[in-house]
Structure 1
Amino acid sequence: MANETKYNLPRVMTVKELSEYLRVHPSTIYKLLRRGELPGFRIGTDWRFNAEVIDRWCLERNMKAPDGGTSSQN
C-alpha cells in the first residue's frame, strides 16, 4: 500500500459567506478590512477568509472589554 499524505484544506469564505456567517452586512466586512481589523487575504481583487482564523478572531474580540482589559462575568 502506498503512503498517502492527507491534506485538510482550510474552509475559505467569500465576503458574502462571511457576512452571513457573522450576521452582518457586507459593507461592515469591507469597513473592518479598510481599518485593518479583520484577518483576510486577497485572491486577485476578491477577499477571502479562513474560517478557523475568523473563529479565533471572534473569540479574541469577545474576550476583550471596551477598556482594553479582559471581560469577566459575575
Structure 2
Amino acid sequence: MAGIAQVVPREVMDIRQASEYLGISGDTLYRYASEGFVPAFKLGNRWRFKKSLLDAWMDEKSGVKVAAPVVVAPKQKKPVGRAR
C-alpha cells in the first residue's frame, strides 16, 4: 500500500484530531468536553485532549481491566559469615 500515509495520533490533540481518533463528530466531542464527560482541558479558549487520557477513559468505559504494575524488590544479599 505504497502512497497511503498512516496518521499517528499526537499526544495532545485538538477537537478535529480527537473526534477523528474517537470516531465521533466534532460537535458531539465538543458537547462531551463541555459537559465533562470526556477528559479534556482548555488551552486558551480551545479544547485539547491527551491521547493517553482518552485511551484510559475508553478502557474504563468499555470495562477493560488494566493490570497494576508489578513491583519486584531486589534480592536480599545473605550476610557474610566470619572467617574461621
TM-score, normalization by structure 2: 0.60
Aligned letter for 1:41? F
Deviation at 1:47, TM superposition (A): 0.7
Aligned to 1:67: none
Runs of 5+ unmatched residues, structure 2: 1-9, 65-84
Aligned to 1:19: 19
**CA deviation map 1:33-67 (0-9, x unaligned):** 12211111111011111100000000101118xxx
Q: How does 1:1-74 map to 2 (within 5 A)?
A: 11-63=11-63
- Tell me, in whole angstroms, the C-alpha distance in 2 between the residues paired with 1:34 and 1:49: 12
RMSD: 1.6
Deviates most, 29-38 or 42-51: 29-38
Runs of 4 or more off by more than 3 Å in structure 1? none
Aligned letter for 1:43? L
The secondary structure found in structure 2 opposite 1:39 is: coil
What is the number of equivalent residue pairs in this alignment? 55
**CA deviation map 1:6-54 (0-9, x unaligned):** xxxx810000000100111001101111221111111101111110000
